[in-house]
Amino acid sequence: MIAGHLAGPAAASPIPFVDLAGQRARIADRIDAAIHRVLEHGAFIMGPEVGDLETRLAAFCGARHAITCASGTDALLLVLMAKGIGRGDAVFMPTFSFPAPAEAAALLGATPVFVDVVPETFNLDHQSLQAAVESVERQGRLRARAVIPVDLYGHPAAYPAVRRVAEDHGMVVVADAAQSFGARLAGERVGTLADVTVTSFYPAKPLGCYGDGGCVFTQDDELAATIRSLRLHGQGRDRNDFVRIGINGRLDTLQAAILIEKLAIFEDELAARKRIAKRYGERLRGVAKTPAAVADAQPAWGYYTLVLDRRDEVAARLQAQGIPTAVYYPKTLHRQPAYRAFAPDTIVAPVAERLAESVLSLPMHPYLDTATQDRIVGAVIAALSA
Ligand SMILES: *Cc1c(COP(=O)(O)O)cnc(C)c1O
């Protein structure tokens, strides 16, 4: 990069936003051997590694059941299908989020209802949820059936408060932990904080595979059995019986084999993310609004996200020095063309709107060394004082 050259040694080579090569270098032998074993046994669909991974995932987060599937989006879809959610049902979710929860609800004919977030954790505001549920109930056209809190950037949502609202209105809580797998709230691991939890193994997520993958966690035996059937075309006890309309939602054996190796070092990677987040916080506090973990929470630090005034300008200055940043998400869901039809004019989400204009995520992964991190920090400070 010529501009980097001219700026001297401080602006060296481009930095990756998420560096999967660092992890690969650490466990390449183990992953290659695991892949080779699958190539040799040849059970590419529902091979032994799938069940083995599910046992390990359940043990990791203390859940009774872990049911792997083809993606985080399929995990959401499978849960809503298993709960029989469809036409006439309202599914509440934050408007400041990835579209997968809205997509799953809308594909089943249900109505996504968008709710504002709180500025501290970027997550669902339970008061805004309460108001939205009451409004839906007053109108009487839809039944309030489910709420999908999203643990944005790896920060667990305020589950106790959300659960209280859900219980009062007979709704199921489906935690979207795609960005927060490994996080804890009051000592409890994400995976057991809601009635049912989903996560994603997309490569850049805290625990990622080498393709698409996802998982559902629950303590509920009956729900688990239904989801296991749904991910296999609705298969019954006999493999030739189809007792419900399902999908092809399985995780590949190869991805399961890779995830077993990655899960073995995941705890250590979570500790590294925490260390890196702490260092960002110490160096950027007072310079920019840094993310604060609320009391009792141990985030998974899927992303490290600042709130800035001149966000786009800062991002451009960093980009010019080979420092990538990302904006999750520049537009609230209720303003997206696909979901506008679900957003009544009365919807107000001032916190989400403000965040959409001002969030900026910095490079974050367990293999970010301190020299690179300090280069990023230096560039952020320079950009903010420019
Ligand atoms: C990534 C993500 C998903 C979807 O996961 P996929 O595995 O990509 O389908 C859902 N919700 C959130 C919050 C995500 O970040």
- DSSP annotation string for 254-271: HHHHHHHHHHHTHHHHHH
Q: Cα separation of 118 and 328, whole Å?
A: 16
Phi then psi for residue 117, to 5 deg, are: -120, 170
pLDDT of residue 9: 41
Phi, psi values for residue 304, rounded to 5°: -115, 110
Give the integer Cα–Cα distance in Å for 139 and 134.
9
State how far the Cα of 223 lies from the Cα of 359, in Å rounded to an integer.
37
pLDDT in tens, 296-330: 999 999 999 999 999 999 999 999 999 999 999 99
List the one residue out of 339, 315, 340 whose CA is nearest residue 325.
315
Using the atom order of ligand 1, give the atom closest to the CA of residue 302. Answer: 15
Q: Ligand 1: distance of its center to the CA of 103 in Å?
A: 11
Return the pLDDT at 12. Answer: 64
Tell me the C-alpha distance between 158 and 17, whole Å: 28
Q: Using the atom order of ligand 1, give the atom closest to the CA of residue 212.
A: 7
Q: What is the Cα–Cα distance from 373 to 259, expressed in whole angstroms?
A: 27
Cα of 74 vs centre of ligand 1, distance in Å, is 9
Q: Are 339 and 31 in contact (CB under 8 A)?
A: no
Residue 358 CB coordination number (10 Å): 17
pLDDT recorded at residue 217: 98
DSSP E strand stretches across the chain: 65-69, 89-94, 111-115, 143-147, 172-176, 184-185, 188-189, 196-200, 214-218, 297-298, 304-307, 359-362
Q: Taking a C-beta distance cutoff of 8 angstroms, is the pair 150, 157 a contact?
A: yes
Distance from the alpha carbon of residue 383 to the mean position of ligand 1, in angstroms:
31
Distances (CA, A) of 165 to 119, 127, 212, 266: 20, 9, 33, 33
Query: First and final CA of the chain: distance in angstroms?
Result: 21
Ligand 1 mean position, distance from CA 200 (Å): 6
- Residue bearing the CA closest to ligand 1, atom 1: 178
**Which ligand 1 atom sits nearest the alpha carbon of residue 179?**
15
Question: 10 Å Cβ neighbour count for 187?
Answer: 7
| CA–centroid distance, residue 154 to ligand 1 (Å) | 12
- Partners of 92 in the β-ladder: 113, 147
List, chain by chain if needed, residues with CB within 6 Å of any ligand 1 atom: 71-73, 97-98, 100, 150, 176, 178-179, 200, 202, 212, 214
Atom of ligand 1 nearest to the CA of 151: 13
pLDDT value of residue 3:
41
pTM over 0.75: yes
- Compute, in angstroms, the gap from residue 83 CA to the centroid of ligand 1: 20
Nearest-atom number in ligand 1 for the CA of 76 is 10
CA distances from 261 to 242, 268, 357 (A): 34, 13, 39
Cβ neighbours of residue 278 closer than 8 Å, sequence gap 6 or more: none
The atom of ligand 1 lying closest to the CA of 202 is: 7
DSSP strands (E only) in 301-357: 304-307
Atom of ligand 1 lying closest to residue 100 CA: 10
Say which residues have a Cβ less than 8 Å from residue 197's Cβ, sequence separation at least 6: 63, 174, 175, 177, 190, 191, 216, 217, 218
Ligand 1 centroid–CA 204 distance in Å is 10
Cα–Cα distance, 240 to 166 (Å, whole number): 38
**pLDDT tens per residue across span 336-373:** 999 999 987 777 899 999 999 999 999 999 999 999 99
Cα separation of 188 and 197, whole Å? 13
Mutate to test the pocket of ligand 1, among 176, 301, 329 (most ligand atoms within 8 A of CB): 176
Please give the distance, rounded to the nearest whole angstrom, from the Cα atom of residue 71 to the centre of ligand 1. 8
Q: What is the pLDDT of residue 104?
A: 98
Write the CA distances from 172 to 75, 91, 166, 201, 348, integer angstroms.
15, 9, 6, 24, 24
**How many Å lie between the centroid of ligand 1 and the Cα of residue 207?**
12
The atom of ligand 1 lying closest to the CA of 200 is: 7
Q: Among 15, 8, 24, 22, which residue's Cα sits nearest to residue 210? A: 24
Output the CA 178–ligand 1 centroid distance in Å: 5
Q: For residue 249, how far is its CA from the centre of ligand 1 (angstroms)?
A: 15
* List of the chain residues with pLDDT < 50: 1-10
Backbone dihedral angles phi then psi of residue 97, each to the nearest 5 degrees: -170, 170
